[in-house]
Structure 1
Amino acid sequence: MTSEIPAQTQQWPGETAALDPAPDHGETSYTGRERLVGKRALITGGDSGIGRATAIAYAKEGADVAIAFLPQENDDAEETRRQVEAAGRTCVLLPTDQRTEEANVELARKAIDALGGIDIVVSNAAFQMAQPGGIEDFPAGQIERTFTTNVFATFWLVKALVPHLQEGASIIITTSIQAFQPSEPLLDYAATKAALNNLMVNLAAQLGPRGIRVNAVAPGPIWTPLIPATMPPEKVESFGEQTPLGRVGQPIEVATAFVYLGSDEASYVSGTVLGVTGGQPVF
């Protein structure tokens, strides 16, 4: 199958406007069905990619959202806000570098103050950077950055928010197919996603008696700015072709999983990983 994605590269963390082709976040393709009316959601990494698509879908389903993002991603965040507000909902922008516990405590406080409470937590922000060399060539400091962004920030944010979550709340963590089928160039990233799956299961057991559900969504290859910003151009060109469906996934195709897990339709679903992988197995 001929790739739908031409070879391209971007500077990290990447920007949506530079992607070729433009990704689908559900701006016009997604129709809401009032599945999240009255809910309030905090979405990290909500400026672009899966986070933006989830924010747009949540808004179209009736939820107000707060999105966290790195300060340098403000342009993308503003576009997310524009799309959420076009759906008639509130979107609060909370620029945050989540690599300290203090930053996550402050993020939780600001989100609760802005929305009057939180019903859905989507921990989606992540860092990856492909490294084609072996472990001997691994850059100093990268594994700390990857684990702090992906695992520690999730832990700290959930810790800060749990005292404020009510029965019926939903916590959803973005993991990855990499947790099940790790790629050698993503050695550290894949390890963090496996750790997040384990964290999710433990949190589901711990928080279940309070009526708080905890789940994970494991995307496969999805077309977001992270891809050309963290992978060699020749890998970008063939991105997604290895899946049984033979193509890259779009952010809105993942966002639908977050809608389901955040909705009351998933009231008996907790401690599970929902794969959105184009056919790659998550077990």
Structure 2
Amino acid sequence: MPDDQQTPQPPQHQDHQPGSEAAMDPQPQGRMENWKPSGKLAGKTALVTGGDSGIGRAVAIGFAKEGADVAVLYFDEHEDAAETKRLVEAAGRRCLTIAGDIGDAGFAARAVDEAASGLGGRIDILVNNAAEQHVCEDFAQIEEAQVERTFRTNILGMFWVTKAALKHMPAGSAIINTTSITAFKGSPQLIDYASTKGAILAFTRSLSQALWEQKRIRVNAVAPGPIWTPLIPASFDAEKTARHGESAGMGRAGQPDEVAPCYIFLAAESDSSYINGQTLHPNGGAVVNG
């Protein structure tokens, strides 16, 4: 990483979820500019939820550089999605962008079918990455609507998208779910969010067993630590955002470019054909689940 990335980001806050990457200072490193592709996903197709910004953007670009066409599902950050599309196409691959709420089962099913159609009728790689989080300092004050919303986006949406995608996924496909370090360490201010991330672990482990038996599809997860993405200024106040990543073992927030290679590895059968039901931990040095 460049030396200047050891310096904490300045205080900042955004008033809406999921947050805008275009409004962040500094911009996250999420364009995979230093990635050396080897064609390991040549001819593949990928669907990435939450692919408009942050980790999802870096994954979409990384997949494109490795030869995959990409469809991106996102909520409402149209400017970010347009930039992701531009960057994927600059890598020489097709990119579809589809906006809507994956917490709505009907939309999720329609969007997946639209993505599959646009990708030639097949989805080889599914990345379930979309998520939201809301800080609550006093658990006694957590709002029912917030809990339901967080679960609907983070885990129920994952169910709906995956269920809809399976009919488009041939044997040898891969599913990669984004969980979090909070699933292992907990978070006193993000209890509903951490709970959904724990559910994603169980979802990954259970689905990996079911789908290998049924369809020879591998299912794995990635559990990022503190990463500099739009979710951070959209979740925390300005001062806490400025300190994001301080507690990591490496003393700084990670960048999306440092997380995306985990997804490329798990997507590529050439690299990870004997890995199923597992979780990778790009978290800056925390030892978890050991």
2:221·2:280 contact (CA, 8 Å) conserved in 1? yes
Superimposed CA distance per residue, residues 201-257 of structure 1 (whole angstroms, 9 cap, x where no aligned partner): 000000112210000000000001110011122211111111111110000111100
Deviation at 1:22, TM superposition (A): 1.2
CA distance, structure 2, for counterparts of residue 266 and residue 130 of structure 1: 36
Q: Which residue of 2 aligns with 1:255?
A: 260
The counterpart of 2:247, out of the listed 232, 239, 242, is 242
Q: Which residue of 2 aligns with 1:270?
A: 276
Deviation at 1:140, TM superposition (A): 3.5
Q: Which residue of 2 aligns with 1:282?
A: 288
Deviation larger for 226-235 or 213-222: 226-235
- 1:199 correspondence with 2:203: yes
Deviation at 1:3, TM superposition (A): 4.7
1:27·1:83 contact (CA, 8 Å) conserved in 2? no
- 1:126 correspondence with 2:131: yes
1:3·1:239 contact (CA, 8 Å) conserved in 2? no
2:31·2:87 contact (CA, 8 Å) conserved in 1? no
Deviation at 1:15, TM superposition (A): 1.1
1:55·1:84 contact (CA, 8 Å) conserved in 2? yes
Q: Which residue of 1 aligns with 2:3?
A: none
- 1:98 correspondence with 2:102: yes
CA distance, structure 2, for counterparts of residue 169 and residue 54 of structure 1: 16
CA distance, structure 2, for counterparts of residue 69 and residue 282 of structure 1: 30
The counterpart of 1:171, out of the listed 148, 167, 175, is 175
Q: Which residue of 1 aligns with 2:119?
A: 115
Q: Which residue of 2 aligns with 1:22?
A: 27
Long gaps (5+) in structure 2: 1-5
CA distance, structure 2, for counterparts of residue 282 and residue 174 of structure 1: 16
- 1:64 correspondence with 2:47: no
CA distance, structure 2, for counterparts of residue 94 and residue 241 of structure 1: 35
1:232 aligned partner, one-letter code: D
Deviation at 1:27, TM superposition (A): 4.4
Superimposed CA distance per residue, residues 20-73 of structure 1 (whole angstroms, 9 cap, x where no aligned partner): 111111342223221111110000000000000000101111000000001x20
TM-score normalised by the chain length of structure 1: 0.96
Q: CA RMSD in A?
A: 1.3
Deviation at 1:167, TM superposition (A): 0.9
Deviation at 1:103, TM superposition (A): 1.2
Q: Give aligned pairs, total.
A: 281
1:3·1:238 contact (CA, 8 Å) conserved in 2? no
2:31·2:57 contact (CA, 8 Å) conserved in 1? no
